Copies of this chain bind each other. A is one copy, B any other.
Amino acid sequence: MELKKMIRIGVIGGSKPDAKARQVAFKVGQLIAEKSAILICGGLSGVMEEASRGAKQAGGMTIGILPGNSPQDANPHIDVAIATGLGYGRNSLVAMNSDVIIAINGQFGTLTEIAYGSIYGKKIVGLETWDIEGVIKAESAEEAVNLALKNYFPLTS
């Protein structure tokens, strides 16, 4: 499929997740790739890295939008690294460039991304993350990716 026609699923979450959240992030990444969607993330460690690793292992494509000045800062599983030099300000860009978002775990950085996602009209699916109005709760990686795809394609749900 043409890159520009593929759905982009943003995966957001903490840079220091526990073991369970890491596994979930990896699985979410795998499923995104299996569904022929592109993974968008912040390009660094933790949930971002595990999801990217999962996506690449399943043959998918990954985009990382980085806080620093250098594309070389990306984790090794990012195909297209975009440096922004914006620091935490880049969180707005992660939300802006996703068609739908899956939030896994996470701290205040993840909360900015959930809030920006809502501002930009994106649906957000949550896995053990902030309990914020509008976030659709999922119990597993499978459910999260299915809900993300359903909410991106409301007509098929």
Size class of the A contact interface (CB-based, 8 Å)? 35 or more
Report the minimal beta-carbon distance from A3 to chain B, rounded to whole angstroms: 4
Q: A66-92 CB contact bits vs B (8 Å, 1 = yes)?
A: 000111001000111111111111001
User: Are A3 and B92 closer than 8 Å at their CB atoms?
Assistant: no
**Contact A93 to B97, CB < 8 A, known contacts A111-B115, A112-B119:** no
Q: What's the number of copies of this chain in the assembled complex?
A: 4
Report the minimal beta-carbon distance from A73 to chain B, rounded to whole angstroms: 11
Q: Is A118 an interface residue (CB 8 A)?
A: yes
Measured CA separation A3–B93 after assembly (Å)? 21
Q: Is A141 an interface residue (CB 8 A)?
A: no
State which of B80, B86, B118 has its C-beta within 8 Å of the C-beta of A80. B80
